[in-house]
């Protein structure tokens, strides 16, 4: 420890030395811990990992499909020099992309619905963090809708695809985070 003539430095050192090693939280945290311990470990782990895993698997599948498509799309004009064939191929590809777009949108919606139907999610709306959570979700959904519309108009835009997938992934993550928020009321019945 270096000696200093500065009285403020000495006072700060004194405060550090006297800082308590332990502090008591204002509320009882054990109940929240115990509630989560009630869930069987395997299913708890599975339920936490499944949505993320599904999301990851879905993102990987989408990325592979996109990679295959864009690889084919960029190489196709080199293989054939006939403009009619290119135009025809391009139209088919766009149609395939539209189909893919709709499929991914449906899959995502199903995941969102599944997350929203889990019992724990009902409660986060009573948390003091619910407002920013809902704000974040609304923001993401608005962005997702706009990107979806832009993709419908221009399904070959690779960056738009990446952005859209990213926004969907964030939405799922936000919903999962919402399930972990501390709640004030356990059920609606309490406030009736």
Nearer to another protein among residue 37 and residue 64 (C-beta): 37
Is residue 126 within 8 A of residue 184, CB to CB? The reply is: yes
**Footprint of another protein (CB under 8 A):** 6, 8-9, 11-12, 15-16, 18-27, 29-30, 32-34, 36-37, 41, 45, 128, 132, 135-136, 139, 170, 173-174, 177, 180, 182
- Residues contacting residue 72 through CB under 8 Å, at least 6 positions apart: 93
Map tokens 């290119």 to a residue. 86
Quote the tokens at residue 185. 């009321």
- Minimum CB separation from another protein for residue 22, in Å? 3
Q: Report the nearest approach of another protein to the CB of residue 180 (Å).
A: 7
- Please, which residue, 22 or 192, has the CB nearer to another protein? 22
- Min dist CB 126 to another protein, Å, is 15
Instruction: Give least dist CB 11 to another protein, A.
Output: 5
Closer residue to another protein in complex, CB, 82/138: 138
Residues 62, 108: Cα–Cα separation, whole Å: 12
Which residue, 51, 25, 169, is CA-closest to 120? 51
How far apart (Å, rounded) are the C-alpha atoms in residues 124 and 111?
18
DSSP state of 77: H
- Minimum Å gap between C-beta 142 and another protein is 12
- Which CB atom, from 71 or from 182, has the smaller least distance to another protein? 182
Nearer to another protein among residue 19 and residue 78 (C-beta): 19
Q: How far is CA 10 from CA 1, 14, 135, in A?
A: 11, 6, 46
């Amino acid at each position: 420890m270096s000696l200093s003539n500065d009285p403020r430095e000495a006072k700060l050192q004194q405060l550090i030395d006297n800082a308590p090693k332990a502090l008591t939280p204002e509320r009882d945290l054990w109940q929240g811990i115990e509630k989560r311990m009630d869930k069987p470990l395997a299913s708890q782990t599975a339920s936490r990992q499944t949505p993320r895993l599904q999301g990851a698997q879905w993102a990987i599948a989408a990325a592979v499909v996109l990679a295959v498509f864009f690889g084919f799309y960029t190489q196709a004009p080199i293989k054939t020099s006939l403009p009619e064939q290119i135009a025809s191929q391009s139209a088919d590809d766009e149609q395939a992309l539209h189909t893919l777009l709709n499929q991914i949108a449906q899959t995502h919606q199903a995941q969102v619905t599944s997350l929203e139907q889990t019992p724990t999610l009902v409660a986060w709306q009573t948390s003091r963090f619910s407002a920013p959570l809902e704000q974040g979700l609304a923001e993401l959904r608005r962005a997702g809708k706009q990107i979806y519309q832009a993709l419908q108009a221009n399904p070959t835009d690779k960056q738009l695809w990446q952005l859209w997938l990213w926004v969907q992934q964030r939405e799922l993550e936000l919903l999962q985070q919402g399930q972990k928020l501390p709640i004030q009321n356990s059920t609606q019945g309490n406030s009736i």
